[in-house]
């Protein structure tokens, strides 16, 4: 639990929405994220669509890929965290680490990478791997991949850049570190050619966890997303995760466990706020990832009706505590060093 026992709130845009949205211009999405920022939410999660199951008809819900969208949104917001989904199949680890390191500088320390531990069965076939990976291979590969990305994010010390014009020294070469990773699936020398993040490293959000993924998640993640389940189960899952976090030498608070939840219709929003309050107070999560369709009305209802109610109950902070995503999430996580 957080100091002051306030929840963390994220909204996921376009997560599995089946409603064809009338307007998915960038300006519309910018308006949504600005509204979420005005409501003081910790972060927005940008899903990345994949070809719809069945594959014959392209899923044209979203004309944007999440990391490029994040970069554009970063320039029209100033406080809210921006987390993009990006797949470990679609990107080489060096390229992905570099993209997010750059996004973190563009956003002044508000970027996060949302990685899933679940393999999308169709995806590998578009990346010259028609056979995909076995579950065991995919898990080992993902674990190695996450380790590489986190390592690359720490390749430059925060004080490496000198900018010394007269002395002719742009950076201190001793504060730049190669990774020299050689593993089962990847070999990566490093370092990145992007400077250290203003928030130390981009925030790592993990989802799609099976039981065998929990150990890597508690070692590396800053945020873990869990699907909603009935109270008893949710509480047990949460307690188990916090125990594991402690067991691997991290503060239980260093990892925020958020429950994925989708509100019903706008008419039920008052009840929805009560439901969130009840789950949070039963200590079965550190907050919520609210999955909304892209209609403006859905976000407006949540921001204008649910969030104020949670504040009235003393369960959500009034203002942002700082300007980086890590500052919203509270005690710095950072995972194992």
Partner 1 sequence: MTAQMKLGAFLWATGHHIAAWRHPKAHVTAGIDIDHYIQLARTAEAAKFDMIFCEDAAGLREANVEIASQTSRSIGFEPISLLSALAAQTSRIGLVSTASTSYNEPYGLARTFLSLDHLSGGRAGWNLVTSASPIEAANFGATGLKPHADRYERAREFAEVVTGLWRGKASGHDGQSFSVRDPLDLPRSPQGAPVMVQAGASDVGRNLAARTADVVFTAAQTFEEAKAFYDDLKGRMAAYGREPDDIKIMPGVSPVVAETEAEAREKHEELQALIPDDVGVALLSSYLSISDLGRYPIDGPLPELPESEGMKSRQALVVEQSRRDGLSIRQLARHFAGARGHWRIVGTAAQVADELQARFEGGAADGFNVMPAYFPGELDAFATLVVPELQRRGLFRRDYEGRTLRDHLGLKRPA
Binding site for partner 1 (CB under 8 A): 26, 30, 49-52, 55, 58-60, 62-65, 67-76, 90-92, 94-95, 98-99, 101-103, 105-106, 108, 122, 125-128, 130, 156, 161, 163, 165-166, 168-173, 176, 186-191, 193-195
Distances (CA, A) of 85 to 41, 68, 70, 264, 278: 18, 11, 10, 24, 29
Supply the DSSP string of 24-45, one letter for each residue: --HHHHHHHHHHHHHTT-SEEE
Residues 6+ apart with CB under 8 A from 265: none
Nearest residue to 266 (alpha-carbon basis) of 304, 314, 229, 315: 304
How far is residue 93's CA from residue 143's CA, in Å, rounded to a whole number? 11
The answer to whether 49 is annotated as binding is: no
Residues 6+ apart with CB under 8 A from 136: none
Q: How far is the CB of 180 from partner 1 (least distance, A)?
A: 9
- Considering beta carbons, is residue 196 or 219 the nearer one to partner 1? 196
The answer to whether 87 is annotated as binding is: no
Q: How far is the CB of 95 from partner 1 (least distance, A)?
A: 6
- Considering beta carbons, is residue 156 or 272 the nearer one to partner 1? 156
- Considering beta carbons, is residue 58 or 230 the nearer one to partner 1? 58
Residues 6+ apart with CB under 8 A from 41: 9, 10, 11, 80, 303, 307
Nearest residue to 258 (alpha-carbon basis) of 289, 284, 234, 295: 289
Q: How far is the CB of 67 from partner 1 (least distance, A)?
A: 7
Nearest residue to 291 (alpha-carbon basis) of 217, 207, 216: 207
- Considering beta carbons, is residue 17 or 284 the nearer one to partner 1? 17
- Considering beta carbons, is residue 59 or 281 the nearer one to partner 1? 59
How far is residue 9's CA from residue 21's CA, in Å, rounded to a whole number? 24
- Considering beta carbons, is residue 72 or 332 the nearer one to partner 1? 72
- Considering beta carbons, is residue 184 or 215 the nearer one to partner 1? 184
Q: How far is the CB of 182 from partner 1 (least distance, A)?
A: 8
15-20 contacts: CB < 8 A, separation 24 or more? Answer: 15/45, 15/47, 15/291, 15/292, 16/47, 16/291, 17/61, 17/293, 17/294, 19/293, 19/294, 19/295, 20/61
Q: How far is the CB of 195 from partner 1 (least distance, A)?
A: 4
Q: How far is the CB of 109 from partner 1 (least distance, A)?
A: 11
Q: How far is the CB of 279 from partner 1 (least distance, A)?
A: 34
Residues annotated within a binding site for FMN: 48, 210
Residues annotated within a binding site: 48, 210
């Amino acid at each position: 639990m957080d100091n002051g026992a306030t929840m963390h709130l994220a909204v996921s845009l376009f997560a599995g929405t089946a409603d064809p949205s009338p307007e998915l211009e960038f300006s519309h999405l910018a308006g949504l994220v600005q509204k979420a920022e005005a409501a003081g939410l910790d972060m927005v999660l940008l899903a990345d669509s994949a070809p719809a199951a069945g594959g014959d008809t392209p899923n044209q819900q979203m004309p944007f890929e999440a990391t490029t969208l994040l970069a554009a949104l970063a320039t029209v917001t100033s406080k809210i965290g921006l987390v993009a989904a990006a797949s470990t199949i679609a990107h080489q680890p060096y390229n992905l680490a570099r993209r997010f390191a750059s996004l973190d500088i563009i956003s002044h320390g508000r970027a996060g990478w949302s990685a899933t531990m679940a393999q999308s069965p169709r995806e590998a076939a578009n990346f010259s791997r028609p056979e995909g990976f076995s579950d065991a291979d995919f898990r080992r590969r993902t674990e190695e991949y996450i380790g590489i990305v986190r390592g690359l994010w720490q390749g430059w010390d925060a004080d490496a850049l000198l900018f010394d014009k007269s002395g002719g020294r742009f950076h201190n070469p001793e504060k730049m570190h190669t990774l020299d990773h050689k593993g089962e699936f990847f070999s990566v020398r490093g370092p990145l050619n992007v400077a250290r993040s203003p928030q130390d490293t981009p925030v790592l959000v993990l989802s799609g966890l099976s039981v065998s993924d929990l150990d890597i998640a508690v070692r590396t993640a800053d945020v873990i997303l869990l699907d909603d389940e009935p109270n008893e189960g949710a509480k047990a899952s949460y307690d188990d995760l916090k125990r594991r976090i402690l067991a691997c030498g991290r503060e239980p608070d260093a990892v925020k466990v958020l429950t994925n939840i989708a509100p019903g219709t706008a008419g039920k929003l008052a009840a929805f706020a009560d439901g969130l309050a009840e789950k949070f107070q039963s200590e079965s999560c550190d907050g919520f990832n609210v999955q909304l369709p892209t209609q403006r009305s859905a976000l407006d209802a949540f921001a204008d009706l649910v969030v104020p109610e949670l504040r009235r109950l003393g369960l959500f902070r009034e203002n942002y505590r700082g300007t980086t995503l890590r500052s919203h999430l509270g005690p710095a996580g950072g995972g194992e060093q």
